[in-house]
Structure 1
Amino acid sequence: MSGTDSAPSYIGTSVRRREDDRLLEGRGRFIADLAAGAHHVAFVRSSEAHARIERIDVAAADQLPGVLGIFTAGDLGLEGKPIPLLTRPEEEFNTATSCVLADQRLPILATDRVHYIGQPIAVVVAEDRYRAEDALETIAVDYSPLPAVTDPLAALEPDSPLLFDHLDTNEAARLEYSFGDPASATASAHRVVEGTYRMGRHGAVPLECRGVLAHFDSRRRQLEVVTSTQVPHMVRKAVCGVTGWHPQDVKVVVPDVGGGFGTKANVYSEEIVLAVLARLTGYRLVWVEDRQEHLASSAQGRDQVHRTRLAVDEGGKILAWEDDFIVDIGAGSLWVAGIVANTAIHLLGPYRVPSARIAGRAVLTNKTLVAQYRGAGRPEATFAFERSLDAAAAELGLSTAEIRRRNLLTADDMPYSRPIPYRDGVPIAYDGADYRACLESVLGALPPTDVGRCTAENPEYQIGYGLSCYLEATGRGPHETARVRLLPNGHFEVTAGAASAGQGHETVFAQVAADALAVPLDTVHYVASDTERLHEGVGTFASRSAILSGSAIHQAATDLIDLAVTKAQSVLSAGRVSYVAGRFTASDRSLDWRELASAQSVGGNQEGGGAIDVTAVFRPPTVTWTMGVHAVILGVHRRTGIVKILHYAVSHEGGREINPKIVEGQVIGGVAQGLGGALFEQWGYSHTGQPLSTTFAAYHLPLSTDVPRITVNHLHVDTPVNPIGVRGAGESGTIAVYAAVAAGVDDALGNGFHINSTPIDTGTLCRALAGTEVLL
């Protein structure tokens, strides 16, 4: 028996983050902090976007003092071995959407051909970083250039140069689905608006770049890889898949990670190469990415083009929605299935859509690889749909709020089924409460009438108001794991398969465990996951950690109580024991966790009784859905065209908040990243594939002065999908920002101005303000 009647509830409480003191005082342990005594690794990277490798001359580098070795794919046994894909949709989704994936073969180290500037070709090991980088400058690589492909639309033409010899096209994936009768609905519609919408290439740019530390322990015959990743178990799986090593022989550890946002939810060549090198050489090796490497070589995101058609009746109600989109994945993506599928699913939005046709393709080009970046297809889908709604509203003379009010799902619609399955193969059914209520909530938090006040306060700006709705599937499976064990002092150690990249796992997961165990929070200690402490796991991405890891921890804690009750029965010599608020009771006798731990230890009356240690696996039946609405008031400077965000508000349907303050921080941080993508950030490429954004002088990030105070309203909605009632929020802040800001700029400029691409070009705004003809 168990109970928690008199125990405090920690879920729902904004307890102070445990990590903060350690990190703010400089006591964090990041990859670079662990590098003392290690030899340094540097990578020879391609200086050509597309070329054949004719010769690699390492003779001069090999003679330099302090250089310990130079290795190519052939030297490491990696020639012809690609990095395996990280995800594939279930067969039910493939069948429903005619989803097909090409056979991508992303080389770990390029051997005969390079496909983007920054692609790793060879690796140098030296006594220190300075000697390693000096050696790089003496290595000569001779290339025979090939035509570069940088335009994804041109890459699909029959006469386009092909990136890979084993493929007969540059198409990496495709899918299509439809329902209803969009052709007939469009033919009978009162208004049909068509558009082409683009979202530029940008990405995470975390505070800490990537890094890997690898060492082979000859005593244990085990390789240890310490890597700045969000997915340690995927890294181990990739290393073992490439090398054939047994998973027990590889331990992947995650130190403190200075931000991930998806770019570190990937498996990289550098992780596999250092693992192989450490075992081959016996050296303790470290590689820490510098910022220029990161901007050229780490996985990027977004980069989509959508060609849309939205049909509405005279009242603005949606009749049909069509979108044909293209995702530019550069030279490849291990997450291609997820990005394309996410985009296609979320293109239906939180609205009543009676008929639709959605088609999408992923395209290979001579640009850096693409991975998931906060939202992974959802912001792009939202931008296309929300901008189309705004165009329809303008055609009908409706406000942007009114056209949404007439189409948003309400309590009467819920649960709302879609005629396709989610990526997990389960039919989609939105489990929300009232999406229209989110709209009314944000309109109350930031009323359109505030535009007048802002105009008076900011005479140098033209002021505009923008809205955008979003929908997000959160808590994607297939599973996650957690472990809870009783320590000898009566405290608890908790770990989970989701690796922290700054989200507050040390705090929130302790809260979940303390709540389930009905014990004081200060007796629960969260320990970061590694693949030895927790042999199986999935990782941190896709707004899943709180849902899946939190539920796994809850389940493990519950199972731990059940196991402890059986142990307490032996200690108390009782057939029936109850558990309430940290104590095990049988009639007039009881004991607490510390006493139970003491009884199990050497010398105790249950000596040798086995550890009180539980590992649990949580498998959700399917995803749970988070919905919200963003509102913004912004100004466009009358002389320069620079956009200034004045006020911002978010209302979202979320589940139970484990730590409300951390959830609020997640949403605010997401808005900040969305503002960066909407206004500043872009990885540009020349037509020859040369990256144009390899320093912060060219890749512009938002400053603290670009982000206003943000109001966040949480509308609690229960979900039956997991035992702690949590919905994901990690990506919610980002998804709707682009469309909301674009709508605000439209409103500020007036005269039918319509933003159709991000980042929003200041020069275009200047010309519009000056009355010059603008070609969008």
Structure 2
Amino acid sequence: MTRNVSAPGHIGSSVRRREDERLLGGHGQFVADCAAGAHHVVFLRSTEPHARIARLDTSAAERMPGVIGIHTAGDLGLCGVPIPSLTTPDPLFTAATSCVLAEQRLSILAHDRVHYAGQPIAVVIAEDRYRAEDALEVIEIDYEPLAAVTDPFQALHPGCPVLFDHLDSNEAARLHYSFGDVEREFASAATVVSGTYRMNRHGAVPLECRGVLAWFDPRQQRVEVTTSTQVPHMVRNAICAVTGWSRQDVKVTVPDVGGGFGTKANVYGEEILLALLARRTGHRLIWVEDRQEHLLASAQGRDQVHHTRLAVDNDGQILAWADDFVVDIGAGSLWVAGIIANTAIHLLGPYRIPAAQISGRAALTNKTLVAQYRGAGRPEATFALERSLDAAAREIGMSTDEIRRRNLLTQADMPYPRPIPYRDGVPIHYDGRDYRACLESVLDALPRDEAARCAAEYPQYHIGYGLSSYLEATGRGPHETARIRLLPNGRFEVTAGAASAGQGHETVFAQVAAEALGVPFEQVRYVPGDTERLSDGVGTFASRSAILAGSAVHKAAGQLVELAAARVHALTNADRDDVQYAEGRFHIARDHSIGWAELARAATVGGEQESGGALDVTAVHRVTTVTWTMGVHAVIVGVHRRTGIVKVLRYAVSHEGGREINPRIVEGQIIGGVAQGVGGALFEQWKYSESGQPQSTTFAAYHLPLTTDMPIVRVRHLHVDTPANPIGVRGAGESGTIAVYAALAGAVDDALGGHLHIDSTPISPGRLCRVLDRAAS
């Protein structure tokens, strides 16, 4: 068969998002919208950051009207049963970086000891939420408090009490790698700058909190779980691992999801518990997290400290780079391997670095659990490296754009090898085109002289200009799945293993399928995946969906065409070589062709091919390794002369990416990422007292950016082909966030005229105000 699709150019078109009409019209279907007929679940959560449970008495609560049951780890046989680990690095990466991971045991329900405030201890089931919460209040629990550890360096000190009995220290992970003659370069360098950079704990805080609905279907003899997640197949696999059920015993479905950003790319004990209890009780059960609960108990992010040294010569060329960092993962993280590895890899940045020495550790403390949050180690690594570059530029009297210009990789350097493998074990080769071109592009999009115009427009502010480059590994494997089937009406239904949490999958995957099939966009409909429709999948995180799921959709479309061509051959008795596919039809002769609608009719009962089965294809796309996205952010800020409050006045991003399936959606991803970066750089922080008590459990204490805190963001896309996948795309889901912290910090430095070097986020207006007062006096 000859295949000439003559694609109508769906990829690259900014068609309107199909989701918008439903979601903006209030017709979305989220977990909380599925509560009809369900009994409500609430969780008794620890009020202590570290303690033994001396007594737990649920008898009074069990007697209350409307209470269906109260369950503990002992009741459910879950004492000592952990949530299964989600990821481990490839052995080649482990060997190259001397990576060691401790055996974490994240409990589903605490049994005899709690390790953070907010940890679930017991489950209350009642007829409605009101009765469930009333019962929660009369449960009696006594604690024997234990000393809490909230400082990661204290946790890693040999004399610190070990928080988990099965471990011999509080170190959850460590790694180290080096290349080049690091110490010789530091000894001979013209300039060495040292710093300590801290990115405090903050996280996703999506519009929709978590939620789980579960019930036992007696006809199918399986538990059906609807959960607000980015990783339905991981949730299914974890439920099966804990319960011993087969994959056919549980179905996991994802409804509309109101944002995930990594906090929902995690498996939680609540998901496992509702599945278990639905089967045990036979009831339809729902749990919807409230906002205070979310701020207390959902997985958090960031929380890293970096001790750095950077050596440059008199021309500003990087000679050597060293970083020793610590990640505070709280009471545990299913993603610790990814976070510490991402940080270590991305510390090399988009620069020529001939010698480096990188060490990292993850510490267990008595804080809430940690998961991957948008960027997952990349923003923290970028902050440390970019702030060090700014410090070196100041030390040698060079502009921040010039020091980057002299070190950024160019077309002559590509592909650029690094002397370590990626997490998948494959040696790293940056596959971009010209990273310096991104710098020149962003300087054109937001010229430095625009700062002077801002100074005239905003006389109440000190004005500053900042830059930051970033590098991002995208499209992490190992695989993703997709399915396309021909419907009886001649249209197509597409689904993929990557669950949408607001990325526009209904639109972009339909665009990919329509182009691969050479049919009108309106002929393709995307439906969300579940673990029955697609039995295997990985999920949505790490800027991977467009690359892996999009490529799987493309592959499935090609296989569907091949399968359909065989049907055409059988219908017409034409030679396979004489069947040509073009413009959505199978051409047999000059004046004869068959379309998809005719093939669909032939496959129905009574049709010529009723025994042939459905035209239905499932494809798996695997990648050898990641592809790389790079960019540069530029920002102009104002620091209020009297209060020290920072206002973002102008922002621009130039990024080197691949083919854009839907440019408007890519632009939206970048702008949304910038907004989250602004939040983390200026406002957001989960604070804990020295005794481990959380102090940021309402929006009065955990501050988010407002629409008034965001300027218009100018986005430039520098297209770079990649042969790494059949549709030529690179990931961009985290590109907007990674560089924001360092860019804003550099701009604040500039605004204060060198009186301060920002080394931590969120940037404190009080600290800026004090610096301004000292400068004025």
Normalising by structure 1, report the TM-score: 0.99
Query: Deviation digits for residues 656-694 of structure 1, max 9, x if unmatched?
Result: 000000000000000000000000000000000100000
DSSP-derived class of the 1:462 partner:
strand
What is the correspondence of 1:166-205 to structure 2 with a 5 Å cutoff? 166-205=166-205
Match in the other structure for 1:76? 76
Distance 2:754 2:570 in 1: 80
> 1:5 deviation in Å?
5.2
Equivalent residue for 1:742, pick from 741, 745, 752: 745
Query: Aligned AA for 2:588?
Result: A
Does the alignment pair 1:304 with 2:337? Answer: no
DSSP-derived class of the 1:401 partner:
helix
Match in the other structure for 2:53? 53
Query: Deviation digits for residues 153-196 of structure 1, max 9, x if unmatched?
Result: 11111121211011110000000000001000000000000000
> 1:113 deviation in Å?
0.4
Distance 1:202 1:361 in 2: 19
Distance 2:430 2:401 in 1: 22
Distance 1:159 1:89 in 2: 30
Query: Deviation digits for residues 334-369 of structure 1, max 9, x if unmatched?
Result: 000000000000000000000000000000000000
Match in the other structure for 2:663? 660
Query: Aligned AA for 1:607?
Result: E
Distance 2:2 2:82 in 1: 51
What is the correspondence of 1:349-388 to structure 2 with a 5 Å cutoff? 349-388=349-388
DSSP-derived class of the 1:406 partner:
helix
Match in the other structure for 1:85? 85
Query: Deviation digits for residues 253-279 of structure 1, max 9, x if unmatched?
Result: 000000000000000010000000000
Equivalent residue for 1:582, pick from 576, 581, 584: 584
Once structures 1 and 2 are overlaid, which stretch shifts more, 88-97 or 1-10? 1-10
Asked if the contact 2:191/2:392 (under 8 Å) is kept, the reply is yes
Does the alignment pair 1:12 with 2:12? Answer: yes
Distance 2:173 2:419 in 1: 22
Asked if the contact 2:4/2:580 (under 8 Å) is kept, the reply is no
Asked if the contact 1:2/1:561 (under 8 Å) is kept, the reply is no
Query: Aligned AA for 2:331?
Result: A
DSSP-derived class of the 1:574 partner:
coil
Does the alignment pair 1:334 with 2:334? Answer: yes
Match in the other structure for 1:110? 110
Query: Aligned AA for 1:584?
Result: F
> 1:585 deviation in Å?
1.5
What is the correspondence of 1:129-144 to structure 2 with a 5 Å cutoff? 129-144=129-144
Match in the other structure for 1:468? 468
Does the alignment pair 1:533 with 2:530? Answer: no
Asked if the contact 2:53/2:111 (under 8 Å) is kept, the reply is yes
Match in the other structure for 1:651? 654
Does the alignment pair 1:763 with 2:740? Answer: no
What is the correspondence of 1:142-153 to structure 2 with a 5 Å cutoff? 142-153=142-153
> 1:3 deviation in Å?
3.3
Distance 1:453 1:124 in 2: 60
Query: Aligned AA for 2:290?
Result: D
Asked if the contact 1:572/1:590 (under 8 Å) is kept, the reply is no
Match in the other structure for 1:259? 259
> 1:601 deviation in Å?
0.9
Match in the other structure for 1:620? 623
Asked if the contact 2:5/2:517 (under 8 Å) is kept, the reply is no
DSSP-derived class of the 2:327 partner:
strand
Equivalent residue for 1:595, pick from 576, 598, 603: 598
Equivalent residue for 2:732, pick from 712, 729, 733: 729
Change (3 A) 1:74 1:257: same
> 1:751 deviation in Å?
3.1
Match in the other structure for 1:221? 221
Distance 1:4 1:770 in 2: 70
Equivalent residue for 2:689, pick from 686, 691, 714: 686
> 1:324 deviation in Å?
0.1
Equivalent residue for 1:715, pick from 713, 718, 727: 718
DSSP-derived class of the 1:83 partner:
coil
Distance 1:442 1:158 in 2: 47
Does the alignment pair 1:630 with 2:633? Answer: yes
Match in the other structure for 1:444? 444
> 1:772 deviation in Å?
6.7
Query: Aligned AA for 1:499?
Result: A
Match in the other structure for 1:295? 295
Distance 1:57 1:366 in 2: 25
Asked if the contact 2:98/2:175 (under 8 Å) is kept, the reply is yes
Query: Deviation digits for residues 185-240 of structure 1, max 9, x if unmatched?
Result: 00000000000000010000000000000001112111100000000000000000
Query: Aligned AA for 2:737?
Result: T
DSSP-derived class of the 2:76 partner:
coil
Distance 2:454 2:4 in 1: 51
Query: Aligned AA for 2:167?
Result: L
Asked if the contact 1:451/1:463 (under 8 Å) is kept, the reply is yes
Distance 1:616 1:773 in 2: 66
Asked if the contact 1:13/1:660 (under 8 Å) is kept, the reply is yes
Over the matched positions of the two proteins, sequence identity in percent amounts to 75
Asked if the contact 1:493/1:525 (under 8 Å) is kept, the reply is yes
Asked if the contact 1:572/1:589 (under 8 Å) is kept, the reply is no
Distance 2:121 2:721 in 1: 51
Query: Deviation digits for residues 7-61 of structure 1, max 9, x if unmatched?
Result: 4110000000000000011110000101111000000000000001111110110
> 1:2 deviation in Å?
4.3
Segments of 5+ residues of structure 1 without an aligned counterpart are none
**Stretches (4+) displaced over 3 A:** 2-7
Distance 1:29 1:461 in 2: 45
Distance 2:635 2:285 in 1: 48
Query: Aligned AA for 1:45?
Result: R
Does the alignment pair 1:568 with 2:568? Answer: yes
Distance 2:536 2:241 in 1: 15
DSSP-derived class of the 2:750 partner:
helix
Distance 1:772 1:313 in 2: 31
DSSP-derived class of the 1:169 partner:
coil
Query: Aligned AA for 1:444?
Result: D
Distance 2:593 2:293 in 1: 61
Match in the other structure for 2:422? 422
Q: Aligned Cα RMSD in Å?
A: 0.9
